[in-house]
Structure 1
Amino acid sequence: MNSCFSARRALLPALLALALAGCANPGGIAPHAQLREAASVGLPTAGAPAPADAPAQADAEVAADWWRAFGDPALDRLVDQALAGSPSLGLARARLARAQAAAEAADATLLPQLNADANLTRQRYTETGAVPAPLAGSVRETGLLQLSGSWELDFFGRNGAALQAALGSARAAAADAQAARALLAQQIVRGWLQLARTQDLLAVAERTLAQREQQRTLVIDRVSAGLDTRMEQYQAEGGLPETRQQIEALREQRTLARHALAALAALPPDALADAAPSVAALPAPALPAALPADLLGRRADVAAARWRVEAAVQDVGAARAQFYPNISLTGFAGLSSIGLNNLLQAGSLQWGIGPALHLPLFDAGRLRANLAGRTADLDAAVESYNGAIVGAVREVADQLASARSVALQQREQAAAQQAAEGAYGIALQRYRAGLGNYLQVLTAESSVLAQRRQQVELAARALDVQAQLAHALGGGVAVEPLPGTPLARR
């Protein structure tokens, strides 16, 4: 007997080793994508010398309410109203709440679970089954009052990895909500600037119409006096319908811009019918001269992409942990009896406790396929992050380049406008001195009006670049954990 027992003891480790050797394994499955470094996308690294013409780092910071730098109270109220009642932000908040709930559920898997059961039943026991006498054929009441509990011992980190993945997804959802806020603020500001541009161009077009009407009247008088021909009259009259068409097109653009802004702020279409901002009344905030070193840390969309990478890493860890044994403790204690009058007696007590182990041996490749899928998701998350940082750097570089170019164009346009206004002033002086006619004055004014149109376009473009740059630099948002959730506790 002792030799047989010894043989069994020697055989048990061999059988266990054989089972472990034959079980599913995660070998050969690994991610391939690599995170991009800051230097590879053109950002300065820590300790690298800054360009000689680069401003202090604070110059590139974007305030949370950066649009107030434009100095327009009506714009401030509109942005505040949009941020408070926009459906798109409400949707982002709902997604965040859903992600936080998933994190709470994942957090619960690490803690013991306790359940209470109560069951009172009246039943007739079969006479032809495995029920012994005197129960067979009788009608009895049965009762059960019991507490049961379980605790999965996370030796291999599967549940912990699942929790970290859920936390990463919640952090990504929080960053997405902030990114939606930054985008909405930018859309409101850019829409407001477009409305201001249209309003100023409409004023120039209306003055152009009045000028051309005066020009037509003078040409008609000159034709009547025999100084001009009908050709000059037709030419003067042909410019009027064209200018009226331009005015109507600008009025349409103004109306559509007001409707678009109202929709962004969740207002009725006609809520902004009286809004009439002016480009000239909106000052341009200062611009940074170079890419900020901490650009990637301040953009909410890049932060969201980075958190998704972290969540994908943890998902891979959870999928890998499924190849290892799952060990849990279960137990119960309570009262059970046949006949309700016996339920509360001491002899009705029952209890039990014990461990349970689950080890996957053969699953036809399900676990490996799951791990391969999670690994592919990780590669996709990494490449999405890489694309986000490349896009972020390009956006800032584009806006900085546009800002410099627009500034140079404004300088040249200002010189051209000064020359046009000088010619107009001389024509007006000659007319008042009797050395020229008023038609020459109106012709000179046409050049001035053309330069004013160009001035409005460039000024509006400069302000629009400011708005796009503020968004490209992060929009003034901060991605922080919210209180009262695992996101803030960990």
Structure 2
Amino acid sequence: MSRPLPLAAALAGALLAAGCASTAGITPQAHLREPAALAAGRSLAGASTPSAHWPSLQWWRDFGDPQLDALVDEALAGAPSLEIADARARKAQAQAALADAARTPIVGLGAQVQGLELPQTLAPAPIGGKFNLAQVLTVDAAWNPDFWGESRAKWQAAVGNARAAEIEAQAARLTLAANVTRTYIALAQAFDAREAAEAEAARADALVALGEQRVRAGLDNGIALEQNRGSARAARQQAQAAQQQIDALRNALAALAGAGPDRGLAITRPQLQLPDVAPPSILPSDLLAHRPDVAAARWRVDAARRGIDSSKAAFYPTINLSALAGVAAGNLGDLFGSKSLLLYGGPALSLPIFEGGRLRAQLRGSTADYDLAVASYNQTLLGAIREVADAVQAARTLDAQIAEARAAREAAGKAHALVLQRQRAGIATQLDVLAAQRPLLQLDQQLAALRAQRRIAAVDLEQALGGGIAVRSPDSTVSD
């Protein structure tokens, strides 16, 4: 009995070496990009300042509108979209717990009563022809020692996916807050558009009244009168369109807040400030630690790498330890006697030899998953840095446009004031005053649109910088 053991050990060693060699030639092709290697200094030159900070967790409060603050708080408290993200995170956590449970021994307790009667044609009496009962109590245990780390790698992969799902749930909150803020900014612009259209309609009505007087006096032929009537109707139509947009945006805000349309009726005209836009000077090296989608993508990469480890471990032999201990007897009184003891168990060794390429295909799939996760991470990182640059450059350009529009508005205001002075002096007519008022209204509407775009750029930057959410990246290996 002593000779088979060394022989079996030698055979297992040879097969083990053959199994390990079968993983050759299957390696990942993708490589992670380092954030620091993506230069953005020239694109952000003049925008990044040492005094600038990463967004606060409640960055939308920088707009200085309590009504916006309340709407975002309501959305974060009861939006169904967040419940979906949270449910996905809980499911990923449960899967990680299942993977962890697979690493521990299993112990079970069993009790059963079995009956058997053999026909006398198979077994003569007294065995055949008689119904016999057997009572059995057992305790069974099983454990896979996981020498090669397959179960541990599966657990680590599940942990990585769970952490990614948790961060993605946080990213959903950031996206929701940004969507509420953008919709609120659009609502403010719609109110401005309605006000401008109503002012233009009033101006056109004044021109119509003046034109009717001139036609009755024989000073005009009526062409200008009809043109002004058309302008008044067009302005009122624009005011109605702006009101329709206001109603739709109120409904959208109510839905984002997880409420019905009646909630939107209580939303009054926004009173938004214009926050500064200045990213921190340490971009892009620390972007990974602040962007939830980048950090989640990094966890997916780590989970995929653990998947490769698990697939490689499947090439090694597996050892399962199992044992069963119990008592069995035909009569209940004999169940706990010394002769009723039942024992079974021992180690089991299995090694894949001819598996039709299944393990190699599985490993190829795991490496492809890793390459896909790396490519997704790289794409997410590139997109994050681009979004920061887009928001900063948009804000910079819009600031210049707003400055020019304000200067033009100031000049138009001075011209209008001069015309009013001339009218009071009897040199200019009411028609001249109304004509000078038109550029003012147009520039007011243009400024309102530019301010809305500038506020959107501020939201874009807050979101591009991670929205103040604290996340953790897998910069160290998962421990036991």
Q: The TM-score by the shorter chain falls in which range? A: over 0.9
SS in 2 for 1:31: coil
Taking structure 2 as the reference length, what is the TM-score of the superposition?
0.93
- State the match for 2:390 in structure 1: 398
- State the match for 2:370 in structure 1: 378
Matches within 5 A, 1:173-252: 173-252=165-244
Letter in 2 for 1:369: A
Indicate conservation of the 8 Å contact 1:196/1:278, yes or no: yes
1:407 to 399, 410, 416: 399
Q: 2 CA distance for matches of 1:125 and 1:339?
A: 18
Q: 1 CA distance for matches of 2:141 and 2:319?
A: 14
1:38 to 35, 38, 41: 35
Indicate conservation of the 8 Å contact 1:29/1:371, yes or no: yes
Cα deviation, residue 453, structure 1: 0.2
CA RMSD for the aligned pairs?
Answer: 2.5
Q: 1 CA distance for matches of 2:365 and 2:16?
A: 24
Q: 1 CA distance for matches of 2:472 and 2:109?
A: 39
Letter in 1 for 2:165: A
Indicate conservation of the 8 Å contact 2:36/2:285, yes or no: no
Structure 1 residues 488 and 285: alpha-carbon distance in aligned structure 2, compared to 1, 3 A threshold:
farther
Structure 1 residues 265 and 52: alpha-carbon distance in aligned structure 2, compared to 1, 3 A threshold:
closer
Structure 1 residues 282 and 403: alpha-carbon distance in aligned structure 2, compared to 1, 3 A threshold:
same
Matches within 5 A, 1:458-477: 458-477=450-469
Q: 2 CA distance for matches of 1:52 and 1:464?
A: 20
Q: 2 CA distance for matches of 1:122 and 1:246?
A: 88
Indicate conservation of the 8 Å contact 1:325/1:358, yes or no: yes
1:106 aligns with 2:99: yes
- State the match for 1:484 in structure 2: none
Cα deviation, residue 324, structure 1: 0.3
Structure 1 residues 180 and 168: alpha-carbon distance in aligned structure 2, compared to 1, 3 A threshold:
same
SS in 1 for 2:408: helix
- State the match for 2:251 in structure 1: 259
Cα deviation, residue 289, structure 1: 6.8
The answer for unaligned runs of 5 or more in structure 2 is none
Cα deviation, residue 293, structure 1: 3.2
Letter in 2 for 1:54: S
- State the match for 1:82 in structure 2: 75
- State the match for 1:287 in structure 2: 278
Please give the per-residue CA displacement for 1:445-465, whole angstroms capped at 9, x wherever unaligned: 111000100111111111111
Please give the per-residue CA displacement for 1:367-402, whole angstroms capped at 9, x wherever unaligned: 111111111111100000000000000000000000
Structure 1 residues 194 and 132: alpha-carbon distance in aligned structure 2, compared to 1, 3 A threshold:
farther
Structure 1 residues 74 and 285: alpha-carbon distance in aligned structure 2, compared to 1, 3 A threshold:
same
Q: 2 CA distance for matches of 1:265 and 1:196?
A: 17
SS in 2 for 1:59: coil
- State the match for 1:47 in structure 2: none
Q: 1 CA distance for matches of 2:46 and 2:240?
A: 50
Please give the per-residue CA displacement for 1:131-180, whole angstroms capped at 9, x wherever unaligned: 68643221111111111111111110000100100000001001110110
- State the match for 2:418 in structure 1: 426
Cα deviation, residue 334, structure 1: 1.2
Please give the per-residue CA displacement for 1:171-210, whole angstroms capped at 9, x wherever unaligned: 1001110110000000000000100110111111111111
- State the match for 2:111 in structure 1: 118
Structure 1 residues 105 and 43: alpha-carbon distance in aligned structure 2, compared to 1, 3 A threshold:
farther
1:139 aligns with 2:131: yes
Structure 1 residues 52 and 22: alpha-carbon distance in aligned structure 2, compared to 1, 3 A threshold:
closer
Q: 2 CA distance for matches of 1:354 and 1:488?
A: 32
Q: 2 CA distance for matches of 1:36 and 1:21?
A: 35
- State the match for 1:55 in structure 2: 49
Q: 2 CA distance for matches of 1:151 and 1:367?
A: 23
Structure 1 residues 11 and 66: alpha-carbon distance in aligned structure 2, compared to 1, 3 A threshold:
closer
Letter in 2 for 1:41: L
- State the match for 1:345 in structure 2: 337
- State the match for 2:302 in structure 1: 310
Structure 1 residues 234 and 12: alpha-carbon distance in aligned structure 2, compared to 1, 3 A threshold:
closer
1:71 aligns with 2:64: yes
2:433 to 438, 441, 445: 441
Letter in 2 for 1:69: D
Indicate conservation of the 8 Å contact 1:82/1:265, yes or no: yes
Please give the per-residue CA displacement for 1:384-426, whole angstroms capped at 9, x wherever unaligned: 0000000000000000000000000011001000011011111
Structure 1 residues 238 and 268: alpha-carbon distance in aligned structure 2, compared to 1, 3 A threshold:
same
Q: 2 CA distance for matches of 1:53 and 1:488?
A: 38
Cα deviation, residue 296, structure 1: 2.0
Which shifted more, 232-241 or 385-394? 232-241
Which shifted more, 240-249 or 157-166? 240-249
Structure 1 residues 109 and 364: alpha-carbon distance in aligned structure 2, compared to 1, 3 A threshold:
same
Please give the per-residue CA displacement for 1:210-253, whole angstroms capped at 9, x wherever unaligned: 11101111111112222222211121111012112211111111
Q: 2 CA distance for matches of 1:23 and 1:61?
A: 51
- State the match for 1:26 in structure 2: 23
Structure 1 residues 426 and 309: alpha-carbon distance in aligned structure 2, compared to 1, 3 A threshold:
same
SS in 2 for 1:173: helix
Taking structure 1 as the reference length, what is the TM-score of the superposition?
0.91
Q: 2 CA distance for matches of 1:132 and 1:195?
A: 94
Cα deviation, residue 21, structure 1: 5.8
- State the match for 1:148 in structure 2: 140
Q: 1 CA distance for matches of 2:250 and 2:172?
A: 21
Letter in 2 for 1:472: A
